[in-house]
Amino acid sequence: MICGGSGVDSADAGSGICFLDSEISPEIGSGKLDLITFGEDFGLLNMRGHFHKPLSYTLIGEGWTRLHFRKAARSAMDFDGIGQTELEGPLCQILHQPVGVEDEEWIEGGARLDWVTLFMRPNLLVERFKLDSISLSDPVRRLANGSDDFLLTNWSLSADMSRALNQLLNVSYAGDLKRVHLEAKALELVCMMSEVMTDRPDSTSPVRLKPIDIERLHEVRSLLARSVAQRPSIVDLSRKVGINRNKLSYGFKHLFDTTISEFCQENRLQAGWELLRDKSVPIALVAEQVGYTQSAAFSNAFRTRFGISPRQARQGTAAKL
C-alpha cells in the first residue's frame, strides 16, 4: 500500500530474513522506507518522508511488541475497546498490542516523518536483551515474563536517541554492511530504551509557575476549547502565548490535572455529544466536525468515554456524564 515497488534486496525464507528498501509510492507521498528482519522474531522499520494527505490504516494485534522512536510526526491511534491516544512531535514509545486487538492508526498529511520502529516478540526482552538484569517497571516486567496485556507508554526522546535515529535514517552503507549497521543501531536503541523502562523514582523537578505562566496556560486552555476540530500543535501554542514547550506541557498537567491531549479528547467528545442533538446531521459528519477522520474512531472513543454509542446518545437512552 505504501511502497511504490517491492524493492526487496534479499530474502531468505529459511532464515526468516527479509530486506526491503523502497520508495514511498508517489501517489501517496515521497520518501524512503526500509524494512529488515533479523530472524523470525526481531525486525526494524525505518520511514522518512511525508504523505500528501492524511493516511489511515488498521492493524490487528498479533502479540508483537513495538519500540517506536520518532523525530517528527503527528498521528493518532485508536485501540478497539481500549481507547484513543494522540501523538505529536519527538518521542519514544513501547507498545504491546495483544492478539486480536484492532488498532486504527492515522498519520497527518504533509508533516515530515522521521521514525524508526523495532518489532519483536516480547520474550526477547529477557531471553535476548537480558532486561531482567535491571529493575523494570511492573507493566514491562509482566510483558517480558509472558503477559499479553495491552501496554502503551510514551517518553521524551533523548538526545542520544535522536543521534542514533540520524544514523539509522541516513545510513550510507549498502548490502550486508547496511544490514549489520542497522542491527547494531537497533540493539543500541533497545539499550537506550532500557533506561526509561526502569522502575525508578520520578526525578523531575516540581513545576514552578509564575503568575504570567499561569495566565498564559489559561490562555492555552481557552484556545484549545475553541479549537475542537483542528488542535493547534504544541509548537504553535508555545509561540502564540510565549511559553516554552516543556513548561507548556508540564505546566498544563500541573495546573489542570490533565494533559493537553486528554483535554482535547474530552473537549472533542463533549462537543460531539452536543452536536448529536441535531438529528438531521449524520454521525459521520459530527465525527468530522470534532476532528475525527474516521467515524469508527469517533464511535469507539465516544463509547469508551460515555459507555454508549453515538447512535444511542442521539436516541436519548442515557444522560451525559
**What is the pLDDT, as a whole number, of residue 99?**
87
Query: Residues 89-113: what's their mean pLDDT?
Result: 88
How deeply is 180 buried, as exposed, middle or buried, from its count of CB atoms within 10 A (0-12, 13-18, 19+)? exposed
Pick the CATH number of 8-196 from 2.60.120.10, 3.40.50.880, 3.30.43.10, 1.20.1110.10: 2.60.120.10
Checking if the pLDDT of 3 tops 70, the result is no
The span from the CA of 230 to the CA of 309, in Å, is: 23
Identity of residue 288: E
pLDDT at 317 over 50: no
pLDDT band at residue 21 using 50, 70 and 90 as cut-offs? low
Domain with CATH 1.10.10.60 in the chain: 211-314
Q: Into which CATH architecture does domain 211-314 fall?
A: Orthogonal Bundle (1.10)
Reported as a single tens digit per residue, the pLDDT across 104-127 is 898 988 888 889 999 999 999 999
Q: What confidence score (pLDDT) does residue 14 get?
A: 38
State pTM to two decimals.
Answer: 0.61
Rounded to an integer, what is the distance from CA 180 to the centroid of its chain? 27
Q: List every span in the chain annotated with CATH 2.60.120.10.
A: 8-196
Rounded Cα gap, residues 268 and 261, in angstroms:
11
